[in-house]
Amino acid sequence: MNKTSHLYLVVLLCAAAIYLGCIVSPPSLVDDVDSVQAQVARHMVESGDWVTAHINGLVYLDKAPFNYWLIAISYEIFGVHDWVARIPVALAAMALAMLTAAFGVWAFGGRAGFYAGLCMSTCVGLWLFTRVLLPDALLTCMIALALWSLLRVLDEEEPHPRFWSMVMAACLGLGLLVKSVIGLAFPVATAVIYLLVTRQFFSRRTWRRLHVFTGALIALVIAAPWHILATLRNPPYFAWTLHSGPGQYHGFLWDYFVNEQLLRFLNRRYPRDYNTVPRLWFWLLHLVWLFPWSVYFPAIAQLSFKPDDRAGRARLLALCWVGFVLVFFTFSTTQEYYSMPCYPALALLLGSAMAGGGDWIRRGTRTLAALSAICATAIVAILVHLRGVPTPGDISQALSHHPGAYTLSLGHMQDLTIDSFAYLRLPLVVAGIAFLIGALGTFRAAAERAFLAAALMMILFFHAARLAMVTFDPYLSSRPLATVLGNEPEGALIAQGFYYSFSSVFFYLNRDGWLLTAKRANLEYGSHAPGAPVVFLVDSQLPAVWSQPQRYYLLTFAADLPHYQALMPGAELDVVASSGGKLILTNHPLTSSAPPAPSPAIAPSN
């Protein structure tokens, strides 16, 4: 093996230690998009319909299918398990780290590529936003490969420009299947900006080497079949309206492109079941998402962005790439993880700066050593403060609640209290060891040794965080409730609130259920499709349903139990199980022989 191969191997081992090491269960799939993605993929396997996604018996037309397909293929190979559902996301994160390293080696040389891959594989943002089954790591892979292909197509020394133009086109087609218009718009817009800045946009040579018509055909061959089939299977085919509101159904094409893409960008999508990060925080949080390597951000300012050589052109492209993504989401609704597509560009710039060394790199390393020491000291102080603090029940008893923040990806972070850390003693110890290694390894260390110490620190820290997520399992997931229900008499499920509120129960039991809510969130559109089953209830209907001879189970929150006692005075509200501040109630004693209730495909009588 040559030196470059060894560098790739180190990046691969770091990424595998983090991402393959964290697919194990517990932690369970959480009550959110995590369980939803896993259940949609399972339905595809069981029904054989790999075109139209379904949730709880309703068509779910909002999202592109590729992530579902990869999870479904994993099920076909390994069986339906929660850890299996995580395999595609883990492999996408590993592929992204390797791709970033390869891009960096090609553009800047071995050391810079190695550092770029190290940044990508061990940064906070990539790990944090792959804890749920989001397709963004795969999207980022497609964008990064498409833009690397662009540079190779235009490079005078490239022996196979036509091949790379085909790779770029394939990435654009796959990007459409991964995350719709974003997968096409981001790389194309970045490429256009780069070509304009370098004065290549109006060059005949550029367009000859890009093979635009052949590339468009390749992208269409990849992306068009699913879009056509989904449109034909979910009519009407066209709807000329920009109005989105309750009770409307305009088929797949309108919902997928107009409602989910255009109206969401304009913040006019219905239902508005999402929130947006304040713009200043959206920018500043990249100091966290790229940690620990963000301490070297100031060194990027010393790099040359003149497109005089391959390295300069790659840096300039990375600058256009980062700039477009961040500016785009500055003027759109955004979540914390939406900027993931620019992480490889930042990693490439960081890798190039780190390889160059200099005063800013040394200052960054000293800053990282100080931050690591501060974190280690803070953890020791927290552990000392928590001596003798009891930990009854599960961690939910020590958390505060901020439901208004849960439409943000990290909204639950606001629920932490000092006492809740008493339940996290083991993760804190492991995290403290990780930061101690980081502090000692980066203190007065040579550059490469400091970088490797920082990477080791992050590997240990991520596994400490995984242990913390196991402790949070009863709060973030409803799997303990599903385990209890699996051993109780059969009955229909009624879940309070949105499907997402108890989605892990539906996954682990592989069942559908009624949804008790007046706000239907992102299942509303599918509920108005022709032939859609009636799956929604409101409070006024519940007393009549609950008094029936059939057995029902109500999934609710402990804080809402008084509401149901007042709504149905004198009714049986037997508590079957409690976990993470959530309850299972039933309308008949478990010792009785009540018949099971009808499926959600049949509306209960009022």
195 vs 209: CA distance, rounded Å: 13
> Quick one: which H or E segment has residue 58?
strand 58-59
How much is the pLDDT for 274? 67
Place 606 in a pLDDT band, splitting at 50, 70 and 90: very low
Task: Determine contact, residues 360/299, Cβ cutoff 8 Å.
Answer: yes
Contacts of residue 451, defined as CB under 8 A and 6 or more positions apart, other chains included, come to: 115, 118, 354
Domain ranges of the chain: 3-23+86-233+274-356, 372-476, 479-586
Task: Determine contact, residues 498/515, Cβ cutoff 8 Å.
Answer: yes
How much is the pLDDT for 407? 56
199 is written with which tokens? Answer: 């004065």
Residue written as token pair 């399992």:
473
Place 602 in a pLDDT band, splitting at 50, 70 and 90: very low
Place 4 in a pLDDT band, splitting at 50, 70 and 90: confident
442 vs 296: CA distance, rounded Å: 13
Grouping H, G, I as helix, E, B as strand and the rest as coil, residue 581 is: coil
160 pairs with which residues across the strands? none
pTM of the model: 0.94
561 is written with which tokens? Answer: 């139990």
Grouping H, G, I as helix, E, B as strand and the rest as coil, residue 582 is: strand
Q: How many residues does the chain have?
A: 606
Average pLDDT over residues 133-147: 97
How much is the pLDDT for 246? 84
What DSSP line would sit under 296-360, residue for residue?
GHHHHTTS---TTSHHHHHHHHHHHHHHHHHHHHHTS---GGGGGGGHHHHHHHHHHHHHH--HH
168 vs 149: CA distance, rounded Å: 5
> Which range, of 112-116, 162-166, 186-190, 384-388, averages the lowest pLDDT?
384-388
CA angle 334, 338, 344 (to 5 degrees): 150
